[in-house]
Structure 1
Amino acid sequence: MSHLPQIPGNQGLAERARAVLGADLIEATERVGELTLLVSREAAASVLQQLRDTPDLSYEQLLDIAGADYPEREARLEVNWHLLSLTHNRRIRVKVMTDDAKPVPSVTSLWPNAGWLEREVWDCYGVLFEGNPDLRRILTDYGFEGHPFRKDFPLTGHVELRYSEEQGRVVYEPVKLKQDFRSFDFLSPWEGQWKLPGDEKAAEGDQA
């Protein structure tokens, strides 16, 4: 039978995390029943290791690494690690704030699956992971320009690629907008010949 101390809910867990992490923990917040720890960027790998190796925390499994972009902030980029404790059946989120110049410590030495997850965040957001042995694009093409999940990335992209039967290879071309819904007007619930009651685009007298 386990003799590990029982931590009552997220409030007790936040207090325990603060005791373990000390000054490396900047803020602990709870929303919709989930606890998020904001930690210093430089100490991220150390923090994650402590969360994994401290017996009464035991967040053994790295579920995902997710990025986020807030262009209005100086440190516009976020990295979020989602951890699972199989021992205690609970989850936690750890995040840091950074930009496209300040690297975030890689955690590939703690969880091997972090390698591909860090490549995804680098590819989509442009976050550098210091210590990742293979930080290459993984979802976009090697010649892709920019990072498509940033909020200032053009919605149409820069180029499109296709396989050319004539040339027998992949070719790059300027983006051509072929989808009708590229210019979809979201003020109307429908596009086309229908004019529905409540549709603010419909002219007066046309509504049923």
Structure 2
Amino acid sequence: MTDLAELGETIKAALPAAVSNASIAFGELTLTVDAAKIVEVVRFLRDDPRCRFISPIDVTAVDYPGRANRFDVVWHFLSPSLNTRIRLRAEASETTQVPSLIDLFPGVDWFEREAYDLYGVIFTGHPDMRRILTDYGFDGHPLRKDFPLSGFVEVRYDDDEKRVVYEPVRLNQEFRKFDFLSPWEGADYPLPGDEKRSE
């Protein structure tokens, strides 16, 4: 296994304009990169003999709705020759167009489509940027933290019409608040029937 700190410094020195930070967490090297230069960074990681990260593992995103650049787009790669994984992280807003890696790694096709479908991250240069997990008419991106838990529509199969129908979400009961106190710990306030305990 390679020295991750040394590898991080090597990559930062080779790509100073593209890589802003290198850190190690959970036994993996994480590079913070400029989203516009992701193709340059990944090409270096794939082709440089000190790296040889030839296997893309995943492309996903993390949503931080309180930030101006609300998404962290995250790529994971494996270098079998170094027996090392690397994580690339780039910030992106809802309108940031992140370059696609499909020309370098055709296998990221569905990963990028999934990130688009579930988070709304747009990858430029992708030949087939359409939804992959939700319906084509689906409204919104379900893994965003501001997406409503109940969704916007519900889908069911109608036996009479012999087709799938979409209907607005109906909540069949009102919102209820539950008291999840442990019966062994007791409440900080008197419960009904406990008036005699205080006497």
Calculate the TM-score normalised by the size of structure 1: 0.85
AA at the equivalent of 1:196? P
CA distance in 2, matches of 1:162, 1:32: 43
Residue 165 of structure 1, CA deviation = 1.2
CA distance in 1, matches of 2:142, 2:187: 33
1:1-208 to 2 correspondence within 5 Å?
A: 7=2, 9-177=3-171, 185=178, 188=180, 196-200=183-187, 203=190, 205=194
AA at the equivalent of 2:150? T
CA distance in 2, matches of 1:80, 1:183: 38
Any idea what SS the aligned residue of 1:88 has? Answer: coil
* 2:57–2:77 contact (8 Å) kept in structure 1: yes
Any idea what SS the aligned residue of 1:52 has? Answer: helix
Deviations 1:2-26 (A, max 9, x none): xxxx84x221111111122222101
Identity, in percent, stands at 42
* 2:5–2:23 contact (8 Å) kept in structure 1: no
* 1:188–1:200 contact (8 Å) kept in structure 2: no
CA distance in 1, matches of 2:172, 2:186: 27
CA distance in 1, matches of 2:186, 2:40: 55
Residue 32 of structure 1, CA deviation = 2.3
List runs of 5+ in structure 2 lacking aligned partners: none
* 2:59–2:108 contact (8 Å) kept in structure 1: yes
Q: Alpha carbons of 1:75 and 1:56: their partners in 2 closer, same or farther (altered >3 Å)?
A: same
What is the RMSD computed on CA atoms of the aligned residues?
2.3
List runs of 5+ in structure 1 lacking aligned partners: 1-5, 190-194
Residue 188 of structure 1, CA deviation = 1.1
Any idea what SS the aligned residue of 1:170 has? Answer: strand
Calculate the TM-score normalised by the size of structure 2: 0.89
Any idea what SS the aligned residue of 2:104 has? Answer: coil
Any idea what SS the aligned residue of 1:123 has? Answer: helix
Any idea what SS the aligned residue of 2:17 has? Answer: helix
* 2:113–2:130 contact (8 Å) kept in structure 1: yes
1:3 corresponds to? none
